[in-house]
Structure 1
């Protein structure tokens, strides 16, 4: 009989112990909601709200928030039992930021979430570019995005750029895509260029460049001319002073 009673009490004891452990634990609620791994996905310039709570048995416990390991400053009334943090507006630097909430008296009792800030490539609509014959043409597209762009294509007057025919080079470093050509010629390079980035989340984003090639301008040697004018003026001034000195002596 005693063994039967003990066996019936044991599961109940374990259940109560489990409940007590959960009650004392830290929980972070968020809007928008995070996934099972604590990843919260939100768009650039939007808002993320985080609420940290402890169980009823520790409702007077003071809470501490960390952002990437650095303490977040809180008002006194936003520290005990329940504490909230609002991240607004979301910026690029918030991507992959880790927010952790823990008890002040026990930093091992904690919970964490990670922000996943999504944004499309930051491409402007249109840009006017003017340069002289035989100069260097450099066009750039900002391809930074989250998730990363899947492809980027350069077009000239609606057709994919022929690198060999136009003497173009294209480079990508994961952040900037650059189209470049040396010794610009009007018949080859005066055109409308388009840079199109394809995002798996935001679709196609395009930036347009209207390139105009002008004749070379005659560049005067400005500095030598200025130096010459200064020398002439100084010489004339000295001559006048010298002449005035002679005239003055004649009247003494």
Structure 2
């Protein structure tokens, strides 16, 4: 009886030790997993901090004429616009830089700190699409841009008079500038030009409207009008085309034949002159 109790006690102790061993192993596994997870999370956090934390925190925001984002400014030729750049939320003196396209604008010393302005005067059609950018001096990535949208009616130019021979090719090039873009058409003698597929060809780019005429005929003679129609107004430019008669081709052997004919008239006269001026020795008759 005593032996059985002793064996039972030993079995309980062994079971408890085994349970304790399993519990300790499980605890160690949980601890390692927790430590691994924490280390990974801390590592990721530190990596994100390193990647996204700038060398110097920049909370400043730039505005131009009160706007915080890039925008388009409508204007017209001959007008003047002022662009005022200011720093918002700054904690110290901030230097500002202005750029016209990629070129830096010269600023006076008192027109650089915290607020800076540029004046664009005598605006022309060529300024359409030009951008002005204000940048933070210590952090060029902080910037804001303004693009000029110069609105103007169509402007046309070109060679108004052309004279060509019948059978040759000719191009009437009408240079055009317009904003907004204009609708282009060709007229002949005040009527819409009737295009012939093998005779006429039209090419249009952002800056020109071209009419090509292949193998010009007498019937192509006349006044051609390049017409540009926009929402502002309609403009026309006349091109006067004069078609001359085709020059007659001279055969290649004509000159040689003509030269031979001249020789046939010149040689006898020279021969006569030689006979006339050659001294003759008198001959006496002996009887």
Summarize deviations over 1:110-132 as a string: whole Å, max 9, x none.
Answer: 43322222333321398222222
Report whether the alignment pairs 1:198 with 2:229: yes
* Mapped contact 2:61–2:89 kept (Cα < 8 A): no
Higher relative contact order (CA 8 A, sep 6+): 1
2:117 aligns with one of 51, 61, 84: 84
In 2 relative to 1, CA 132–59 (structure 1 residues): closer, same or farther, beyond 3 Å? farther
What is the match of residue 155 of structure 1?
187
1:95 aligns with one of 114, 120, 128: 128
User: Partners in 2 of 1:203 and 1:166 — Cα distance?
Assistant: 33
User: Partners in 2 of 1:118 and 1:70 — Cα distance?
Assistant: 24
Using the size of structure 2 for normalisation, the TM-score is 0.56
User: Partners in 2 of 1:190 and 1:112 — Cα distance?
Assistant: 52
Matched pairs, number: 193
In 2 relative to 1, CA 110–178 (structure 1 residues): closer, same or farther, beyond 3 Å? closer
In 2 relative to 1, CA 62–160 (structure 1 residues): closer, same or farther, beyond 3 Å? same
- Range moving further from structure 2, 152-161 or 38-47: 38-47
User: Partners in 2 of 1:174 and 1:136 — Cα distance?
Assistant: 24
Report whether the alignment pairs 1:213 with 2:246: no
Instruction: Note the 1:166-245 alignment, pairs <5 A.
Output: 167-186=199-218, 188-200=219-231, 202-216=232-246
User: Partners in 2 of 1:191 and 1:37 — Cα distance?
Assistant: 51
Using the size of structure 1 for normalisation, the TM-score is 0.62
Name structure 2 gaps, 5 residues minimum. Answer: 1-58, 251-287
Name structure 1 gaps, 5 residues minimum. Answer: 1-22, 221-252
SS at match of 1:164: coil
RMSD over aligned Cα atoms: 3.5
SS at match of 1:77: helix
SS at match of 1:120: strand
In 2 relative to 1, CA 214–69 (structure 1 residues): closer, same or farther, beyond 3 Å? closer
In 2 relative to 1, CA 42–110 (structure 1 residues): closer, same or farther, beyond 3 Å? same
In 2 relative to 1, CA 93–158 (structure 1 residues): closer, same or farther, beyond 3 Å? closer
